[in-house]
Amino acid sequence: MALVEIKNLNKSFGSNHVLRGIDFTVEQGEVVCVIGPSGSGKSTLLRCVNLLEQPQEGQVFVRGEEITDRDCHLDAARQQIGMVFQQFNLFPHLSVLQNCTVAQITVLKRKQAHAEQIARANLERVGLSEKVTAYPAQLSGGQMQRVAIARALSMDPALMLFDEPTSALDPELVGDVLTVMRKLALDGMTMLVVTHEMAFAREVADRVVFMDGGVIVEQGPPADVIGNPQHQRTRTFLRRVL
């Protein structure tokens, strides 16, 4: 059974038909990178996977459970999905450690000591053990994004969604975040990553999905989609970003 299965997903904002019948799966342990021009619907697709956006038509299944079903326990389904945004979205008034424990305590009902233990382990995983008492304002963008990753991991997600996680970073800070993501992939985490980092997609993705105009134009191994694209739209896009 696929970890995520999407069938005939359609999403409009007013008269703007943004996702036009997307069919798509993510298998357990797979790393899928989504590429495509700005405005093609990549973020909307990602946000439909955990129903931050409600599609007008189509179905989203997580581990076989239809989360687009009205009777679905959405919070339980969402707990299985971690999300990392371009703009970190850390709580500014909480320390790094508290940022990584608050949802564990309030949502998963973990005891504080247990939550802290898990948070510390994940902060070590992203190379930030020495920053547990710092506040977000004291961190670089790359460090904030690594805290956001540790925070998501602390919820034990089955799937991690990344929406252009390095796009807001100064170029010299991008590498640290990509290194953490590469390590996560090697650890077997299932990941759906919207990115403009073609070298990362080429190296780490099991599959690359090229979107344009709200449809999947082509998908396959990176060596095919990036290395030898079959569609003119893919070639035009890659010529611009490579």
Residue whose CB is less far from ligand ADP, 39 or 188 = 39
Place of tokens 């956001």: 148
Interface with ligand ADP (CB under 6 A), residue from 8, 23, 29, 39: 39
44 in contact with Mg ion (CB under 5 A): no
Q: What is the dihedral of CA 140, 141, 143, 144, to 10 degrees?
A: 120
Interacting residue with ligand ADP among 1, 15, 38, 70 (CB under 6 A): 38
- Residue 207 CB, shortest distance to Mg ion, in Å, is 19
- For residues 104 and 155, give the distance between their C-alpha atoms in angstroms, rounded to a whole number: 6
Q: Which of 42, 110, 131, 207 binds ligand ADP (CB under 6 A)?
A: 42
Rounded CA gap, 13 and 19, in Å? 10
Binding segment for Mg ion among 39-47, 68-76, 149-157, 169-177 (CB under 5 A)? 39-47
Please report which residue ranges of the chain form alpha helices under DSSP H.
Answer: 42-49, 74-78, 96-106, 112-125, 141-153, 171-186, 198-204, 222-225, 232-241
Q: Least separation, in Å, of the C-beta of 17 and Mg ion?
A: 17
The single residue among 40, 43, 68, 166 that binds Mg ion, judged by CB under 5 A, is 43
Pairing of strands 65-66, 57-62: antiparallel
Nearer to Mg ion, 139 or 191 (CB): 191
**Cα separation, 157 vs 82, whole angstroms:** 6
Residues that bind ligand ADP (CB under 6 A): 13, 16, 18, 36, 38-44
